[in-house]
């Protein structure tokens, strides 16, 4: 399964945040560390919204495919 553009950008955001967080804590200062941690949070929230959007789409297609196309709603009860 491939990834889309949003997933790629959120992965990039996570990697930059994961780099800036520890670098800020140990060498560059707390402001850089806070920016890094904020980027990590943004990446997690963004990836979570992508996942929820994908799950909502699957649920709606599963509901549409409950009965075969050639059968009426009450036809299954007669068997």
In the chain, domain spans: 1-56
Tokens 């495919």 found at = 65
Per residue of the chain (79 residues), give pLDDT as tens.
Answer: 677 888 999 999 999 999 999 999 999 999 999 999 999 999 999 999 987 777 776 665 555 555 555 656 556 555 5
Q: Around Cβ 56, how many Cβ atoms within 10 Å?
A: 9
What value does the CA radius of gyration of the chain take, rounded to a whole number of Å?
A: 22
- Amino acid 36: pLDDT: 96
- Amino acid 77: pLDDT: 59
What count of residues does the chain have?
79
- Amino acid 56: pLDDT: 75
Rounded Cα distance between 70 and 76, Å, is: 11
Tokens at residue 70, please? 């050639």
- Amino acid 39: pLDDT: 97
The packing angle between helices 5-23 and 30-64, to 10°, is 150
């Amino acid at each position: 399964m491939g990834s889309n553009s949003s997933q790629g950008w959120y992965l990039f955001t996570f990697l930059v945040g994961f780099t800036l967080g520890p670098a800020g804590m140990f060498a560059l200062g707390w402001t850089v560390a806070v920016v890094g941690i904020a980027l990590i949070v943004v990446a997690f929230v963004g990836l979570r919204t992508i996942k929820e959007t994908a799950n909502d789409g699957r649920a709606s297609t599963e509901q549409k495919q409950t009965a075969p196309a050639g059968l009426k709603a009450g036809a299954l009860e007669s068997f």
